[in-house]
């Protein structure tokens, strides 16, 4: 069995203070994909670089206290790719790819457009650039899981207040259409929605009001996987027994041996 966890920690130092380090061990995960490290390499302790002796590979943003992604794995990867090869995005630390035999696991942090119109434009540029990359990865014929914070809720079921958010970043028609094409046209599988068609599966809650307590959430964290790997998905859950950040870890188990 292969267990892959994806978690936006909204600052790894903060998440570690809230028990994320201990969670990695008790979760039994084989691979953990982390987003929003919000740390430079010099800020990472040894436990943050290689938790519990796992292999760690990270891509930090140039800007301090911002973005950054990592992949932790029990098995040493055969190869690692940092960034997508486009400076505008790579300086923000948004992509790490690790290959293990026939398996590829990516930690992805797709830009958010909520803070300013120019950030929404950057998000659209990322979507335009990343779509052909998803097509190329799919064409490799490998077993691939692209895990992370995609910052898009695809369908009405994926957020509580869908009627009130149709003009907001993360649920704009263009964004929803894009992720729909990733699934329908490119043939990627949204594992959660495939396993649980009727379960919302929220993974993020605003810090405003009582969003978390009232479960007024969004499902914006995904494991998008190739068809062959999707067929081996056994179960998934959103881990809410502890709260490490404004996101909750998405845990998927696959009947798969690396």
What stretch of H or E contains 179?
Answer: helix 173-184
Domain residues for the domain of 204 are: 2-254
Rg (CA), the chain: 17
Average pLDDT, the chain: 97
123-155: pLDDT as tens digits: 999 999 999 999 999 999 999 999 999 999 999
**154 known member of a binding site:** no
22 is in an annotated binding site: no
The CATH number that applies at residue 10 is: 3.60.10.10
Q: What is the pLDDT of residues 66-77, one digit of tens each?
A: 999 999 999 999
pLDDT given for residue 246 in this prediction: 97
Confidence at 115, pLDDT banded by 50, 70, 90 = confident
User: Residue 208: its pLDDT value, please?
Assistant: 87
Among all residues, which ones are annotated catalytic?
A: 109, 149, 247
Nearest to 73 by CA among 41, 107, 40, 46: 107
- CA distance between the termini of the chain: 9
Q: Is 156 annotated as a binding residue?
A: no
Give yes or no for residue 169 having a pLDDT over 90: yes
The C-alpha atoms of residue 96 and residue 91 are separated, in whole angstroms, by 13
Work out how many domains the chain is built from and give that number: 1
pTM of the model: 0.97
pLDDT value for 209: 84
């Amino acid at each position: 069995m292969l267990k892959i966890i994806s978690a936006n920690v909204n600052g790894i130092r903060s998440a570690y203070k809230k028990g994320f380090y201990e969670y990695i061990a008790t979760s039994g995960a084989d691979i953990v994909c982390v987003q929003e490290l919000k740390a430079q390499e010099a800020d990472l302790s040894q436990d943050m670089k290689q938790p519990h002796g796992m292999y760690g590979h990270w891509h930090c943003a140039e800007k301090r206290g911002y973005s950054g992604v990592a992949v932790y794995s029990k098995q040493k990867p055969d190869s690692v790719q940092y960034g997508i090869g486009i400076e505008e995005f790579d300086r923000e630390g948004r992509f790490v790819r690790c290959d293990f035999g026939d398996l590829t696991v990516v930690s992805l942090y797709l830009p958010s457009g909520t803070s300013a119109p120019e950030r929404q434009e950057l998000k659209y540029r990322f979507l335009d650039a990343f779509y052909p990359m998803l097509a190329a990865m799919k064409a490799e014929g490998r077993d691939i899981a692209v895990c992370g914070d995609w910052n898009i809720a695809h369908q009405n079921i994926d957020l509580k207040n869908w009627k009130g958010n149709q003009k907001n970043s993360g649920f704009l028609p263009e964004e929803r259409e894009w992720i729909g094409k990733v699934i329908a046209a490119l043939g990627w599988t949204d594992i959660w929605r495939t396993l649980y068609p009727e379960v919302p599966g929220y993974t993020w809650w605003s810090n405003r009001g009582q969003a978390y307590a009232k479960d007024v959430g969004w499902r914006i964290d995904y494991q998008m996987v190739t068809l062959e790997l999707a067929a081996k998905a056994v179960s998934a859950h959103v881990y809410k027994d502890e709260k490490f950040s404004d996101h909750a870890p998405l845990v998927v188990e696959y009947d798969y041996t690396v």
